[in-house]
Structure 1
Amino acid sequence: MPRYSLIILVFLLTAYTSCSSLKLNGPEAQAPPPALPKAELSLHLGLEIPLSFVQGKINESLTEKLFKEEGLELGNGLFADVDLKKNGLLSLSATDEGKLLVGLPVFLDGKVRLEKKIFGQKISSAIPFQENLSPQVSFIPQINSDYSFGIEELDILSWGKPLQYDFLGFNIDFEPLVKQKMIGVMEDQLRSGSLKSIDIKSIANDFWSTFGKPRYLDNGLSASYLYTQPEKLAIHDEFTKDQQLILNIGLEGEILRQKERPLATQLSPLPPVTQEKVEGNDFSLTLPIYVGFEEMAAYLDEKLKDSLITVEKQTKLLPQKFSLRHFGERTMITMEFIGKRVGKKDINGTFYLAGKPAYDANSQSIVLENVDFKLVTKSFLANTTNWMKRRKVLKAIQKKAVFPVGDNLEGAKAELLEKSQMKLSLFKLTLQSPEIFIDGIYPSTTGLDIYVRTSAGVNVEWNP
């Protein structure tokens, strides 16, 4: 990457450029600086999770004993003891309607008891029953605002065989009872154990801990801390015919800057999840690099101290002091100087420059467009007959006043390369074709905010 430099005193002046006299007390001088736009962070990921992985995690977490109940009242003096156990591995598949279909072999072990009084005599009898069942369960997983999975429309589609029995002349239908219990068991098992293996919040927090931590950025003139404020996290999930769970995640936030060191725990919590359509695999980050006017002025003072600017053979300018400020949407540079003339008395003067900061891609520098300037002295170079001499002063300043910020963009590149490969829960992310460019330059009351933007595609690899 070529070395960049910030040249804030490069003026786009040609022989055809007309520069009007700068109105030092006009409305622009009193206008506030423009409002800073948001320094945005955005990430869009399309994560593909094989249903075979989810199936394996469910089988790991699913307990053998599903439920056991004794003394369940069936009516007419009938009671049942029911013990339902897992009797094989669970299977998981996606349907064309976007639901999940679960097959779970179970063993139903129990007995039915009759307890009645007939003619004052207590009659008690019990008949055991045992069945191998293959219930088919369908449901729709939903992502809740707290990142947990919810279960919607869970239903038992079939049991593999009827659950109706004849007992002492009584027709007993166990399906409503077992179905009610089975639905409760499946909801509990899926929520508490198996679906937690697809931990959306862990994936988001892994990413957020990488990009959300406060980072110290020193550009050689000014230093500040950058940290991220998350604003929105949207997730759209779907199940495909090729047995994949697709999680499309969109994360949006703002990069904030402050002078003081943030607290060690200053990592903003993730916002609640919203259900929205999200597309793409891309990453964009804006770093608001700050250069203070005081530091810029001190840099000019040091660099141009004792540096004479030749106006003509008998006349030279000696810069004394620089200062910078915003001038509405533009930036003003003020140079106080001493005019040294051979055989004449030295005089004091002030040179004012104002222009709008903009990035010039050809020179890889910041230029001031729409430049106006004004020279104020009692007599020296103050009349229009000396216009070319005033422009000579301008060009001399242009040549010497340069602020390098190559380290800033190198730092932004290093930040991006540091994050070019990330290991998240279940996935490896690699940034593709990263680009770094200046997205805007904005004067404030105290300095320049230079928005350095990085953008890249994201390659997502399944890496459990």
Structure 2
Amino acid sequence: MKSYLTVFSVFFALFTLISCSSAKKIEALKPTPSDNSPMVYKTTTSFVAMPVEVPIKEVENQLNKVLTGLIYNDSIIADDNTEMKIWKQAPVKLSEKDGKIESVLPMKIWIRVKYGTEYLGLNDKKDITLNGTIKLLSDAKLSNWKLSTTSVIQDFEWSESPSIEVKGRHIPITYLVNPTLRIFKAKIAKKIDDAINKSTDFKPQVLGVLEKLSTPFITSEQYETWFKLIPTELYVTDAVLSKNKITMDMGLKCSMQTIVGQQPLNTFKKENIVLKPVSKMPNKVEATVAAVSTYESASRILTKNFQGQTFASGSRKITVQKVDLWHKDGKMIIALDMLGSVNGTIYLSGFPNYNAVTKEIYFDQMDYVLNTKGALTKTANWLLSGMILRKIQESCRYSIKGNLDEGKKNMEPYLNNYSPMKGVFVNGNLSDFVFDKVELTDKAIIAFIKTSGQMSVKIDGME
């Protein structure tokens, strides 16, 4: 989920003026920055809906990893005159049939039969080895990320008719073997069910993906900003089996943070994730993320952007040499270092706001900070005129349209077959980012933006 966040430069054009009259010195008291805001900025709760698809082929692959070698062993002959061992001889094949899972299990069967006068006038034991397949039909349910099945053996298919050799003659014993298998078919089916249940618990993989997504990653080395996703609740509907795939709806409730400075710790804990089964959920993404601009970077860009511009009133003119800005008591402070008719630094304050039509951030309720060391000279009084202030305020705006577009572009790689871990693939689309609000901290300007869209997850090829 690398950079929902875009570092955007901020706000305003100020004035450059060329002096035509004698300069006066203005000495204003500098408003000290606020230093009580936290370093972590938490957005509103986000909801990410991700329909999940698991092909039957993936269940088949996981089943074959668990179901190997000897899969059934009955070593007691006294109860029914037979011993039996069944080995898986080739990979199990799964398919979907009318909303159920059909399994075909190639197998090798070894049977030891005890027979006496009640069978062929003999009293002996005979070992029989058979090759064939068992067909099972299973009701499948995937709930809370775990697939469970209830299987019933439908048929036995032999590569050749079971027989034993007695005094040089091959005597068919299908009549003996099949009833014996039918007696134990419930036990054999349960063995298959146990193997499916063991091999298709997807919860560890899902939690592994969440842990991967929760690892903080850097979004801007230049501005030392990090993004951190904090999952809190995970929702999932019961699965539906159709068209050779299992589908369900997953929803993630989370918060998103941007952190300025050192890399934050990964605080993800699997045991703290609340797993909630639900009947249905909306198939959409509703996310609030953030864009961060430090005051240092904004000051540097603004100083460069507005070099050469002027403000004048009559014969009085000034140039702005440098722009600095910081936060104090919920307002933005703009410091203007000037030369010309007035020399020194003046301070403006205002509230950042947003124009949704032009996609521009601007200052509202802008005013001068008037705590000067001495009374302003008449020469400097023109700076306080409403007309000059309005001109300054008109220039104090900055379009973030390009930054919003860039934020969406930076998300695209994570919605185009993105694989946070082997065998898990994420796809989706997002609508345009929409501005939500601006917050000022002691370190940076944080602009929160919202987006919506759709995402999906496919599990195929896990280790």
Bin the TM-score by the shorter chain.
0.5 to 0.7
Q: Which amino acid in 1 is paired with 2:350?
A: A
Matches within 5 A, 1:204-283: 205=208, 209=212, 212=215, 214-217=217-220, 222-240=223-241, 242=243, 244-260=245-261, 262=263, 268=268, 272=273, 274-277=275-278, 279-283=281-285
Deviation sequence 1:328-349 (CA, Å, 0-9, x none): 4443434465782xxxxx6867
Instruction: Tell me the distance in 2 between the aligned counterparts of 1:91 and 1:417.
Output: 35
| Structure 1 segment 15-34 matched on structure 2, within 5 A | none
8 Å Cα contact 1:39-1:451 kept in structure 2: no
Are residues 155 and 48 of structure 1, via their aligned partners in 2, closer, same or farther at CA, if it must alter by over 3 Å? closer
Name the structure 1 match of 2:353.
358
Q: Which whole-Å CA distance do the structure 2 matches of 1:287 and 1:358 have between them?
A: 18
1:448 aligned onto 2:445: yes
Q: What residue number does 1:45 align with?
A: 50
Distance of 1:279 and 1:142 partners within structure 2 = 17
Alignment of 1:286-305 (within 5 A): 286-300=288-302
Matched, 1:421 2:392: no
**Equivalent pair of 1:281/1:459 in contact (CA under 8 Å):** no
Alpha-carbon distance in 2 for matches of 1:224, 1:60: 43
- CA 1:414–1:42: 2 relative to 1, 3 Å: same
SS of corresponding position for 2:238: strand
For residues 266 and 8 of structure 2, the distance between their equivalents in structure 1, rounded to whole angstroms, comes to 33
CA distance in 1, matches of 2:409, 2:96: 44
Question: 1:307-322 counterparts in 2 under 5 A?
Answer: 309-313=311-315, 315-317=316-318, 319=320
Maintained 8 Å contact 1:381/1:390? no
- Residues 432-453 of structure 1, C-alpha deviations (whole Å, 9 max, x = no match): 3642333321111222112244
- Deviation larger for 437-446 or 44-53: 44-53
Q: Distance in 2 between matches of 1:177 and 1:330?
A: 82
Maintained 8 Å contact 1:214/1:267: no
Q: 1:69 aligns with which of 52, 71, 74?
A: 74
Deviations 1:269-322 (A, max 9, x none): 667572433545544554422222344345555666797632332x34455775
- Report the AA paired with residue 182 of structure 1: I
- SS across alignment from 1:71: coil
Give the partner amino acid of 2:251.
Answer: G
Match of 1:8 among 11, 35, 45: 11
Once structures 1 and 2 are overlaid, which stretch shifts more, 324-333 or 361-370?
324-333
Structure 1 CA distance for aligned equivalents of residues 394 and 437 of structure 2? 24
TM-score (norm 1): 0.64
Give distance in 1, aligned partners of 2:395 and 2:353. 19
User: Could you tell me how far 1:57 is from its partner in structure 2?
Assistant: 6.1
Give the 3 Å change call, closer, same or farther, for CA 190–391 of structure 1 in structure 2: same
Q: How big is each residue's C-alpha offset from its partner over 1:159-197, in whole Å with a ceiling of 9 and x where there is no partner? A: 88xxxxxxxxxxxx968983674255224422444x37x
Between the aligned partners of 1:302 and 1:136, the Cα distance in structure 2 is 75
1:117-196 to 2 correspondence within 5 Å?
A: 126=125, 136=136, 138=138, 140-142=140-142, 149=146, 151=148, 154=150, 156=152, 178=184, 181-182=187-188, 185-193=191-199, 195=200
Q: Which letter maps to 2:83?
A: D
Counterpart of 1:178, as a letter, is F
AA paired with 1:451?
F
Instruction: Work out whether residues 349 and 376 of structure 1, in 8 Å CA contact, stay in contact via their aligned partners in 2.
Output: no
**SS in structure 2 of the partner of residue 415 of structure 1:** helix
Q: When the two structures are aligned, how many residues end up with a matched partner?
A: 404
Letter matched to residue 294 of structure 2: G
Specify whether residues 46 and 422 from structure 1 end up closer, same or farther in structure 2 by C-alpha distance, changes over 3 A only: same
Q: Distance between the aligned counterparts of 1:452 and 1:364, measured in 2?
A: 12
Q: 5+ residue gaps in structure 2?
A: 1-6, 15-28, 117-122, 157-178
Indicate if the aligned counterparts of 1:232 and 1:253 stay in contact, CA closer than 8 A. yes
Q: 1:82 to 1:347 in 2, by over 3 A?
A: closer
Query: Structure 1 residues 139 and 389 mapped into 2: Cα distance closer, same or farther (>3 Å)?
Result: same
* Equivalent AA in structure 2 for residue 248 of structure 1: D
What displacement does 1:240 show?
3.9
Q: Find the counterpart in structure 1 of residue 161 from structure 2.
A: none
| Cα deviation digits, residues 80-134 of structure 1 (max 9, x gap) | 42223458965554667xx75656576765345599xxxxxxxx86577899895
RMSD (Å) for aligned C-alpha atoms: 5.2
Q: 1:408 to 1:209 in 2, by over 3 A?
A: farther
Q: TM-score, normalised by structure 2?
A: 0.64
* SS of the residue 1:435 aligns to: coil
Q: Is the 8 A contact 1:33 1:326 kept in 2?
A: no
